[in-house]
Amino acid sequence: MTDTPVTDLFIIGGGINGCGIARDAAGRGLSVTLAEMNDLASATSSASTKLFHGGLRYLEYFEFRLVREALIEREVLLKAMPHISWPMRFVLPFHKDMRFDSETPTSKLLTTFMPWMKGRRPAWLIRLGLFLYDSLGKRGILPGTAKLDLASDPAGRPLKAKFKTAFEYSDCWIEDARLVMLNARDAMARGAKILTRTEVLSADRQSDHWVIRTKDHATGAEQEHRARMLVNAGGPWVADVLHQKLGQNSRENVRLVRGSHIVVPKLFDHGRCYFFQGTDGRIIFAIPYEQDFTLIGTTDADHPDPDTAPVCTEAEQEYLAAFASEYFEKPVKREDIVWTYSGVRPLYDDGASSATAATREYVLTLDQAQAPLLNVFGGKITTYRKLAEAALAKIGEVFPQLPAGWTAGVALPGGDFPVGDVAKLTSKLAADYPFLTPYWTGRMIRAYGTEAWEVLGDAKTAGDLGQDFGATITARELDWAIAREWVRAGDDYLWRRTKLGLRLDEAQRAAVDAYIQGKAAQLAA
């Protein structure tokens, strides 16, 4: 179709990398189309451990640049999204007789010169790591490391009595799937075209542009697009897109690593997270989750291929429960598990000997043999904005008049209020809508920030919000999610835009799905 308009960038993939690049590019004046074959954040980006963190354990692999970049980014991101991200203190219990089977570069170096240290992370080494963690990145909001006496600190109560001492440091929580969706919304507000449930069937490379053919899974319609440059941000499918959809011959590849998590009824009453070290050298987190639960994860296991849906296996469930039970006084049992989820991290294949040791660095490759192609390998959610800036630096080689980067500290939708003002905003919402319960009020602010007032509109009573689906879900909120957040099925809303699926029974979840699909069908018609 010769009259098909030519866009500057066509981005394949609606995870955090694709949506972050789309937002940055659209904000610099490029025309952008993004295609995601499923829902936004439907793969890796909704299956993280929900943390903005520097990656304390990556220091053992000498990944200082990655850790420093992530540490600095934490506070940049907090300022842009104080509704969906907030500071959290992490408690690292220490016991002098704990032994570890670790093969990290740090442990190998230590045992070369001090063989008696084999299998140990001594207190001085942990202190050194935490000193580096505090020092490598700038901190203006997050407090530094402290030492805890677990005999007197509330963090010690749920733990076994043998743990007398802990170190406490700062990182941040993030609502990962909402982060992706809000980047997509901001990209669209700046002119980007966001196509969900739209699969790229093929992309033909010409001398000066790409011809891309897509299929809309909702309608079955096929469409042709043209773009001056293609960005492959396919996440777990990045190599498949490169080799099969684009027909490119490249040696670049990804290592697919499955990370699984379990959710159990809450194991402690405070708001801090635990960082546990395992005898196998690995670590897990136990995190306060959705007020009434505890999230435990993650594992690192090689995954066969991206089209095999990741699931938390029975072995992984047993592993995580047993791991946590080494620390908690009350054992965690498999029958306690109320939900599990797994995601596949597409790490750049650096030939590491194990999934745990594989690099978390991102790699961007630009191919300008004909129409330019940018491939995005790896990355982590904390550094998504920096990855997008690095991608735009590569894209700038094709579009040399690009303006400078702009995203640092610029609020995402609903995040236009100061860090630390969540309580003030919550009180105002409660005063304006007195029929809301405290839980409901807090949930609305944490999901929508300043946009909570737009969602609730002119409602004077709960009945004004339409059908009640349970767990504070109303028809008005679902209508908002359908119209503004690309929600097209129950899972989109219950497990990605929110985690309210945890609070509903099967019949209630089915009712939410039926309502959403009915409204979505009306929109499609």
Tell me how long the chain is.
Answer: 525
Determine contact, residues 160/327, Cβ cutoff 8 Å.
yes
Structure tokens, 38 = 């499923």
Confidence of residue 97 (pLDDT cuts 50, 70, 90): low
- Helix (H) or strand (E) holding 363, with range, is strand 363-367
What mean pLDDT is predicted for residues 334-350?
91
What mean pLDDT is predicted for residues 161-189?
97
- Average pLDDT over all residues of the chain: 91
CATH code of the domain occupying 422-524: 1.10.8.870
Taking the C-alpha atoms of residue 311 and residue 259, their distance in angstroms, rounded to an integer, is: 9
> pLDDT (tens digit, 9 = 90+) per residue, 358-404?
666 889 999 999 999 999 999 889 999 999 999 999 999 999 999 99
41's torsion region: left (phi>0), alpha (psi -120 to 50) or beta? left
Angle at 282 between CA 166 and CA 262, to 5 degrees: 90
Question: Which pLDDT does position 58 carry in this prediction?
Answer: 80
Predicted confidence (pLDDT) at residue 104 exceeds the cutoff of 70:
no
> For domain 255-348, is the CATH number 3.30.470.30?
no
- Helix (H) or strand (E) holding 257, with range, is strand 254-265
Taking the C-alpha atoms of residue 329 and residue 324, their distance in angstroms, rounded to an integer, is: 10
What mean pLDDT is predicted for residues 427-445?
98
Predicted confidence (pLDDT) at residue 108 exceeds the cutoff of 60:
no
Residue ranges, CATH 1.10.8.870, the chain:
422-524
Cross-strand pairs, 87: 172
Question: Which pLDDT does position 441 carry in this prediction?
Answer: 98
Determine contact, residues 25/393, Cβ cutoff 8 Å.
no
Question: Which pLDDT does position 121 carry in this prediction?
Answer: 67
Question: Can you list the alpha helix ranges (DSSP code H) found in 137-200?
Answer: 176-189
Question: Which pLDDT does position 409 carry in this prediction?
Answer: 86
Predicted confidence (pLDDT) at residue 112 exceeds the cutoff of 50:
no
Question: Which pLDDT does position 120 carry in this prediction?
Answer: 54
Residues 6+ apart with CB under 8 A from 217: 37, 197, 198, 199
> For domain 6-45+177-253+359-395, is the CATH number 3.50.50.60?
yes
Residue ranges, CATH 3.30.9.10, the chain:
255-348
Q: What is the percent of the chain where pLDDT is above 90? A: 77
Question: Which pLDDT does position 304 carry in this prediction?
Answer: 87
Question: Which pLDDT does position 475 carry in this prediction?
Answer: 98
What mean pLDDT is predicted for residues 84-98?
89
Question: Which pLDDT does position 115 carry in this prediction?
Answer: 44
- Answer with the residue of higher pLDDT: 331 or 107: 331
- Helix (H) or strand (E) holding 297, with range, is strand 293-297
Predicted confidence (pLDDT) at residue 357 exceeds the cutoff of 60:
no
Alpha carbon separation from 44 to 305, 332, 443, 485 (Å, rounded): 13, 26, 24, 18
Sign of the Cα torsion 353, 56, 119, 321 reads negative
Predicted confidence (pLDDT) at residue 517 exceeds the cutoff of 60:
yes
Question: Which pLDDT does position 331 carry in this prediction?
Answer: 97
What mean pLDDT is predicted for residues 126-151?
90
Predicted confidence (pLDDT) at residue 167 exceeds the cutoff of 80:
yes
Sign of the Cα torsion 391, 394, 399, 401 reads positive
Residue ranges, CATH 3.50.50.60, the chain:
6-45+177-253+359-395
> Which amino acid is it at 507?
A
Question: Which pLDDT does position 489 carry in this prediction?
Answer: 97
Beta strands 198-205; 146-149: pairing state: unpaired
Taking the C-alpha atoms of residue 296 and residue 294, their distance in angstroms, rounded to an integer, is: 6
Predicted confidence (pLDDT) at residue 96 exceeds the cutoff of 80:
no
Of 276, 287, 270, the residue nearest 94 (C-alpha) = 276
> pLDDT (tens digit, 9 = 90+) per residue, 402-424?
999 999 989 999 999 999 999 99
Alpha carbon separation from 322 to 9, 196, 279, 319 (Å, rounded): 48, 39, 11, 5
Predicted confidence (pLDDT) at residue 107 exceeds the cutoff of 60:
no
- Which residue pairs from 218-225 have beta carbons closer than 8 angstroms and sit at least 24 positions apart in sequence? 218/488, 218/520, 218/524, 219/524, 224/1, 224/4, 225/4, 225/7, 225/10, 225/33
Question: Which pLDDT does position 95 carry in this prediction?
Answer: 81
Predicted confidence (pLDDT) at residue 189 exceeds the cutoff of 50:
yes
Question: Which pLDDT does position 109 carry in this prediction?
Answer: 45
Rg (CA), the chain: 23
Question: Which pLDDT does position 118 carry in this prediction?
Answer: 46
Predicted confidence (pLDDT) at residue 355 exceeds the cutoff of 80:
no
Verify cis geometry, omega within 30 degrees of 0, for the bond prior to 298.
yes
> pLDDT (tens digit, 9 = 90+) per residue, 36-65?
999 999 999 999 999 999 888 788 777 888
